[in-house]
Amino acid sequence: MSTFSTTTPLSLPFPSTTLTHTHTHLTRTRTQTRKPTLTFTPLHATNPDTTTTTITILTAGSIAALAAALSLSDPELRRRQQAVEVGGGDKEVVREYFNGTGFQRWKKIYGDTDDVNKVQKDIRVGHAQTVENVVKLLSDERSLKGVTVCDAGCGTGLLSVPLAKLGALVSASDISAAMVAEAQAKAKEEIQSGDSELVMPKFEVKDLESLDGKYDTVVCLDVLIHYPQDKADAMIAHLASLAEKRLVLSFAPKTFYYALLKRIGELFPGPSKATRAYLHAEADVERALEKVGWKIRNRGLVTTQFYFSRLVEAVPAQ
């Protein structure tokens, strides 16, 4: 679900009943806070066009009210105003946000303070599950000792630190200087300097476009939400060029339900929603990978009430 690392929390402003649909299974449930739901299967067991979607059933009155509200909303106007204020486009807006009010907000969400609301706590749980899945994915196959890993869009170090503690040689970067400083502090606190077998992650303030070098593994979690599809394709190609053996990406999946939640969230333009949020169809991400000679080996999906993230692991096709 920042820095470049979290999906924008969205919520429905009216009661609803949800249906969970997976082509062959239909279950009625009540909308409530729930533990993260994880779907993670090998490629051979997964149809690329099959995703878990949630469809919200609305009353006729709710639909009418929603349509009226959407017609009055102009999120693009707000975004253009934000860009003018910081003197640039999406990247400058993101940098400004995550060095200011966004940093304070996401530091709290990514931390362990009790000073979070229901939505923030739910996002914390979802993002933590994504990080846990990636750590397990990378460490189950073989030891991470001496393995070079690029954590692109590291945020507060929630992935970088655990990987370093498992022996990986981590190069971590983020567009936000404030996030990088927080990640460095976390690493110093959790990694014993006296342990000669562990190497402190190398943290840098960099945007994704500036990353270079070669790594065994490149990981980019919840960052593509800041890129429209055409720029996301170019970024995926760039990240793949840095990886030698595998590339792990997570992104907010583009489905009817999630697109609706995103649109509704735009009706409430508080400071927590100060950046654009782009959803991506899994098929589009897969096509971008195939264009540069990579294929998806594993797929996963983490969902909570306010956090949703598709996870893919790609490897060279040959």
At 143 the pLDDT is: 95
**Strand ranges (DSSP E) for the chain?**
17-21, 26-30, 37-42, 53-57, 148-152, 169-174, 202-205, 215-221, 243-251, 294-303, 308-316
Residues 6 or more apart in contact with residue 140 via CB below 8 angstroms:
none
Q: State the Cα torsion 249-2-121-160 to the nearest 10°.
A: 60
Kindly report, residue by residue over 94-149, the tens digit of the pLDDT: 999 999 989 999 999 999 999 999 999 999 999 999 999 999 999 998 999 999 99
Q: Per mean pLDDT, which range of 40-44, 272-276, 305-309 is the poorest?
A: 40-44
pLDDT: is 92 or 168 the higher one?
168
In DSSP terms, 218 is beta-bridged to 150, 247
At 308 the pLDDT is: 92
Q: What is the pTM of this model?
A: 0.73
- Over 90: is that where the pLDDT of 290 sits? yes
Confidence class for position 255, pLDDT limits 50, 70, 90: confident
CB-based contact 253:225 (threshold 8 Å) = no
Confidence class for position 274, pLDDT limits 50, 70, 90: low
- For residues 224 and 222, give the distance between their C-alpha atoms in angstroms, rounded to a whole number: 6
Q: Which two tokens stand for residue 107?
A: 């530091």
CB-based contact 275:265 (threshold 8 Å) = no
Q: Per mean pLDDT, which range of 3-7, 81-85, 238-242 is the poorest?
A: 3-7
At 269 the pLDDT is: 52
Q: How many CB atoms lie within 10 A of CB 152?
A: 28
What whole-number percentage of the chain has pLDDT above 90? Answer: 59
Q: 6-20, 56-70, 93-107, 281-295: which has the highest mean pLDDT?
A: 281-295
Kindly report, residue by residue over 142-153, the tens digit of the pLDDT: 999 999 999 999
